[in-house]
Structure 1
Amino acid sequence: MVLEFADRGLPGDLILRVRREDDSAALAAAYRRNRGHLAPWDPTRTEDFFTEQGQLEQTRELLALRQTGAALPLVLVDGDEIAGGVTLSGIVRGAFQSAMVGYWLDRDHVGRGLASAALSAVVEAARDDFGLHRIQAATMLANHASQSVLVRAGFERIGVAPQYLNIAGRWQDHVLFQRILHD
């Protein structure tokens, strides 16, 4: 079950669309450009991650998951540059009908509501096109900007998970959020 997602326009002429193999060079450039900006919120990355080949391998893995219906990897495109990404992952069907969402935004695009707009578009697709019931997200305790994005997109805080993810080289506590998509 391939998860279909039609390109969506966002404020500032950005496009939210499915990640493609030919995005690898632009993704590598975006991650290099934002290395310091994202480092406090990301897992420790190998040097390969910041290369075109590393991004091609990651893209292929994510697209294979998309083919099975387990993930939806999206990018925000600004002209020829990648300005961010949103990934719906860990999609579970059956009685759960749930997924995780993660996102990032280029440092030059923060503060304009783009992450909230992109997240809202993904929530809409998850509900209307994929039939999901729930989406969960997690942010580090100190990531107030990301928490604001989630609240603006209709997510509610549901608790704190101790030592939830290994971020920046150590296990970090995270605030958990969810959005129920069907009443």
Structure 2
Amino acid sequence: MLHGIQLALVSPVDVPALAAAYQRNRNYLAPWEPLRPDTFFTVEGQRAVIEAKLALHQASSEMPWVLFDGKRIIGTITLTGIVRGPFLSANLGYWIDGDYAGRGIGTAAVNAVVDLARTRLGLHRIQAATLLHNPASQRILNTSGFAQIGLAPQYLKIAGRWQDHLLFQRILEDPL
């Protein structure tokens, strides 16, 4: 992908590495994520998360990937809420290890997933949301061809409170 970073479907063998990645990034991710119980950051907690994600993947409603630098997991990127039929749409979520932020890895990962969503999943549209005060994520989406489509008041409960989000979409048939 970029600088030796690999994108791979999450697997049960990733449990310890994903727990370690979340432990390393707990404080870094806290302003951008829902409040997490302490168990979320454990091997047992990540085992439960991965099992749930793989069950949704088996049901064709989620595509959960990890980003791997050859030594450790440095982030995740996921298409959730995959809907078929006339909608052919999904939601995009991602995070990158704080030690790797600002290196273009998030943009490369989003571009790779956009390509997979178009070519392998046959999707028409991907939606993403960012906190208003997250210009880094907004830059990733803008660079990856997403267009801002609106403001969603009190959209998600992040860092313990309901927060407004900017909504973005990418129509996959549209060229960059």
For Structure 1 versus Structure 2, the TM-score category normalised by the shorter chain is over 0.9
* Aligned counterpart, 1:121: 112
Alignment TM-score, normalising by the size of structure 1: 0.94
* Aligned counterpart, 1:61: 52
Letter in 2 for 1:179: R
Q: Runs of 4+ in structure 1 displaced over 2 angstroms?
A: none
* Aligned counterpart, 1:166: 157
Q: Which whole-Å deviations, capped at 9, do the CAs of 1:58-91 have from their partners, x for residues lacking one?
A: 0010011111110000000012311001000000
Say if 2:167 is the partner of 1:180. Answer: no
Q: Map of 1:1-183 to 2, 5 A cutoff? A: 10-183=1-174
Q: Percent identity?
A: 56
Gaps of 5+ in 2: none
Measure the CA separation in 1 of the matches of 2:140 and 2:81.
Answer: 21
Gaps of 5+ in 1: 1-9
Measure the CA separation in 2 of the matches of 1:103 and 1:151.
Answer: 15
Alignment TM-score, normalising by the size of structure 2: 0.97
Q: Which whole-Å deviations, capped at 9, do the CAs of 1:19-66 have from their partners, x for residues lacking one?
A: 011111111111010011100000000001000010011001001111
Letter in 2 for 1:14: I
Measure the CA separation in 2 of the matches of 1:152 and 1:69.
Answer: 28
Query: 1:143 offset after TM fit, Å?
Result: 0.4
Q: Which whole-Å deviations, capped at 9, do the CAs of 1:120-169 have from their partners, x for residues lacking one?
A: 01000101111100000000000000000001111000010000000000
Letter in 2 for 1:97: L
**Aligned alpha-carbon RMSD (Å):** 0.7
Query: 1:118 offset after TM fit, Å?
Result: 0.5
